[in-house]
A and B are shown apart, each in its own frame.
Chain A
Amino acid sequence: MSDAIIVEGLAKRFAEVEAVAGISFRVRQGELFGFLGPNGSGKSTTINLLTGLARPDAGAIRLGGIDCRHRPGAAQHLIGVVPDESNLYPELSGFDNLCFCAALYGMAKRERETRARELLADFGLSDAAGRRFSGWSKGMKRKLTIAAGIIHRPAILFLDEPTTGIDVASARQVRQLIADLHRGGTTIFLTTHYIEEAERLCDRIAFIVSGRIVRIDTLEQLLKPLQGGQVVRIAYDTTLNGIENGLDGAFPGRSFTCPEPGVIRVEADGPVRVGAIVRFLEEQGIEVAEARRIRPSLEEIFVRVTGIEADVMQRERGKP
């Protein structure tokens, strides 16, 4: 299968900030490629560089075989872009917004009206089609923004944080729409800081931190190092410093860390006997509130590879 997106040595600097630091990756045709990283890691800048909204300082970009560095704008007909916030026209109706976006891609009147109706029906927005976009809910706006991004049936779709700032039900619907587009053969480049979203949707995932890609692989390969091992999270009520040192001595071959006060994280390549650890802690006068095994997840790998705690990403959910 050929590559829909080829990026080599892409770099972009804004004054003193190195937003994208010489990244390279390839996205295969029909693949759903996830770009996972915290806010400010360079995800949106990368999308802007790939879609032509910003010019790179260095590097090469090929979209659908077209050299976009030397022919900026030449691949615009191949791509659809869904930005991280709905940017349709508030004074137009949903139907008129879609027709206008179709016209930007040169679609004839009858064709764009048929396509707009078809998408409104597919996205469950037909009832609101005639209403002004400004009066729509956030979830409906996001769905219409996705519809506008695919109105011209692009071969490559860029989705920038598609579920940020919308309610749980709408986010679920949007994820379903993305999965449907993927099944339909569209190449999708998705940026997100929701680990579970990347885990659920993507074929391959790149971790980006401070403008650098620190790991790219399939979900299966990313999870492989954890599959033989186990992770246990133990929460306790007493505040004690250095308890992990005592545990290290008592349970060799296990790794003990304190990610936050009152929590011990146990990692091992083999099975972890939770009961023995809990008993040891209770013998030390520590009251254990909870001990649970954590399923091997992308979150674990993300934390290991990037050094960024998953709760940092969680907290960023609420940020604009």
Chain B
Amino acid sequence: MKPWIAFWNILLKDMRTYYLKPPNISWGLIFPLAWTGMFFIKSGSGLDGILALLPGVVAISILFGTTSMLAVTVTFEKKHRSFERLLLAPIPLELLMLAKTGGAILFGVANAFVPVIMAAFLVDLSQVNWAPFIGAVILIAMASTFLGLFIAVAVSEVFEAQTFSNFFRFPMIFLCGLFFPIADLPALLRPLAYLLPLTYGADVLHGAVHGGHALPVALDLIILSGFCLGLFAISLGNVRRRWIS
């Protein structure tokens, strides 16, 4: 038995079946473009404002791409019982869920670079510190995907997955410091911001693009990794409890 064959084929099948479909590719392009345009026009700060908006748009592109796609695809497969086929395969559940989430993580990372490529045509990105930027993009994609998995296991209908995703996503966007500094939030909401994985990802992205971190980069990345592991472990536990009970 070679579990990596199963892993690779689940990942490939999901990429082909769900992520590389024209509607999803166009969504991946239009969504970041729309957000960039909206904030760009609203800020009225000219081309220099693009650099300030870039971390936020990158993070939103990842968050919306991954959570929706994974929550919907897993819920869809569970409802049509094709997910049972995967659960019956002789591969560890951890590897199976990594294969299922792998496609969404790659999709999220690809989505992140759409606004970056767009920005590259308009502003000078030479001062961006790419190592932490890429690290943050990957970890945000993983955390968002595992959040999508957590949502998928908690619901039974596709429409519930969408609604439940928004319950997490919208508060996260406005509380994580992407568009409004955490220091400017009401004192009551500030502790809440530090309970959100995107807060740490946004801090790394801000620092990588225009300097100035609230927390050390390493600490941000470690906490973000902790969120990834925690969400994955909770989701695995929920799969075992709800789907193989």
Query: In the docked arrangement, what's the CA distance between A100 and B16, Å?
Result: 12
Asked if A92 contacts B13 (CB within 8 A), the reply is yes
Asked if B5 contacts A107 (CB within 8 A), the reply is yes
The contact string, 1 if C-beta is below 8 Å from chain B, for chain A 63-83, is: 000000000110011010101
A154 CB to nearest B CB, Å? 10
A309 CB to nearest B CB, Å? 31
Q: Is B42 an interface residue (CB 8 A)?
A: no
Q: Contact partner of A76 among B9, B80, B90, CB < 8 A?
A: B90
Asked if A104 contacts B6 (CB within 8 A), the reply is yes
Asked if B88 contacts A51 (CB within 8 A), the reply is yes
Q: Is B52 an interface residue (CB 8 A)?
A: no
Q: Contact partner of B90 among A83, A101, A105, CB < 8 A?
A: A105
Q: Is A91 an interface residue (CB 8 A)?
A: yes
The contact string, 1 if C-beta is below 8 Å from chain A, for chain B 85-96, is: 111111111000
Q: Contact partner of A89 among B6, B17, B244, CB < 8 A?
A: B17
Asked if B13 contacts A89 (CB within 8 A), the reply is yes
Q: Contact partner of A87 among B8, B17, B82, B244, CB < 8 A?
A: B82
Q: Residue of B at shortest CB range from A85? A: B81
Asked if A53 contacts B87 (CB within 8 A), the reply is yes
Q: For B8, list chain A residues within 8 Å (CB).
A: 103
Q: For A83, list chain B residues within 8 Å (CB).
A: 81, 84
Q: For B244, list chain A residues within 8 Å (CB).
A: 52-55, 72
Q: Is B126 an interface residue (CB 8 A)?
A: no
Q: Is A208 an interface residue (CB 8 A)?
A: no
Q: Is B1 an interface residue (CB 8 A)?
A: yes
Q: For B2, list chain A residues within 8 Å (CB).
A: 106, 108
Q: Is A88 an interface residue (CB 8 A)?
A: yes
Query: In the docked arrangement, what's the CA distance between A52 and B86, Å?
Result: 12
Asked if A87 contacts B85 (CB within 8 A), the reply is yes
B68 CB to nearest A CB, Å? 18
Asked if B91 contacts A91 (CB within 8 A), the reply is no
The contact string, 1 if C-beta is below 8 Å from chain B, for chain A 96-118, is: 00001101111110000000000
Q: Is B26 an interface residue (CB 8 A)?
A: no
Instruction: Count contacts on B: residues with CB < 8 A to the other chain.
Output: 25
B99 CB to nearest A CB, Å? 10
Asked if A104 contacts B9 (CB within 8 A), the reply is yes
B32 CB to nearest A CB, Å? 26
Asked if B89 contacts A105 (CB within 8 A), the reply is yes
Enumerate B87-114 residues with CB–CB distance to A below 8 Å: 87-93
Q: For A148, list chain B residues within 8 Å (CB).
A: 85
Q: Residue of B at shortest CB range from A72? A: B244
Q: Is B49 an interface residue (CB 8 A)?
A: no
Q: By CB atoms of chain B within 10 A, which of A54, A91, A106 has the most?
A: A106
Q: Is B171 an interface residue (CB 8 A)?
A: no
Q: For B80, list chain A residues within 8 Å (CB).
A: 87, 90
Q: Contact partner of A77 among B17, B82, B90, CB < 8 A?
A: B90
The contact string, 1 if C-beta is below 8 Å from chain B, for chain A 122-155, is: 0000000000000000000000000010000000
B10 CB to nearest A CB, Å? 8
Q: For A104, list chain B residues within 8 Å (CB).
A: 6, 9-10, 85-86, 89-91
Q: For A77, list chain B residues within 8 Å (CB).
A: 1, 90
The contact string, 1 if C-beta is below 8 Å from chain A, for chain B 62-87, is: 00000000000000000011101111
Asked if B6 contacts A103 (CB within 8 A), the reply is yes
Asked if B82 contacts A54 (CB within 8 A), the reply is no
Q: Residue of A at shortest CB range from B80? A: A87
Q: For A53, list chain B residues within 8 Å (CB).
A: 84, 87-88, 244
Query: In the docked arrangement, what's the CA distance between A214 and B178, Å?
Result: 65
A72 CB to nearest B CB, Å? 8
Q: Is B3 an interface residue (CB 8 A)?
A: yes
Asked if B88 contacts A76 (CB within 8 A), the reply is yes
Q: Is B127 an interface residue (CB 8 A)?
A: no
B205 CB to nearest A CB, Å? 35
Q: By CB atoms of chain A within 10 A, which of B6, B9, B17, B91 has the most?
A: B9
Query: In the docked arrangement, what's the CA distance between A105 and B85, Å?
Result: 11
B85 CB to nearest A CB, Å? 6
Asked if A106 contacts B17 (CB within 8 A), the reply is no
Query: In the docked arrangement, what's the CA distance between A76 and B3, Å?
Result: 13
Q: For B86, list chain A residues within 8 Å (CB).
A: 104
Enumerate B8-23 residues with CB–CB distance to A below 8 Å: 8-10, 13, 17
Q: For B81, list chain A residues within 8 Å (CB).
A: 83, 85, 87
**B residues lining the A interface (CB < 8 Å):** 1-3, 5-6, 8-10, 13, 17, 80-82, 84-93, 244-245
Additional A-B contact list (18), CB under 8 Å, known A83-B81, A88-B82, A106-B2: A52-B87, A52-B244, A53-B88, A53-B244, A55-B244, A73-B92, A77-B1, A87-B80, A87-B82, A87-B85, A88-B85, A89-B17, A92-B13, A100-B9, A100-B13, A103-B9, A106-B5, A106-B90
List 23 A–B pairs whose Cβ atoms lie within 8 Å, in order of A's numbering.
A51-B88, A52-B88, A53-B87, A53-B88, A55-B244, A55-B245, A76-B89, A76-B90, A81-B84, A83-B84, A87-B81, A87-B85, A92-B17, A101-B85, A103-B5, A103-B8, A104-B6, A104-B90, A104-B91, A106-B2, A106-B3, A106-B5, A106-B90
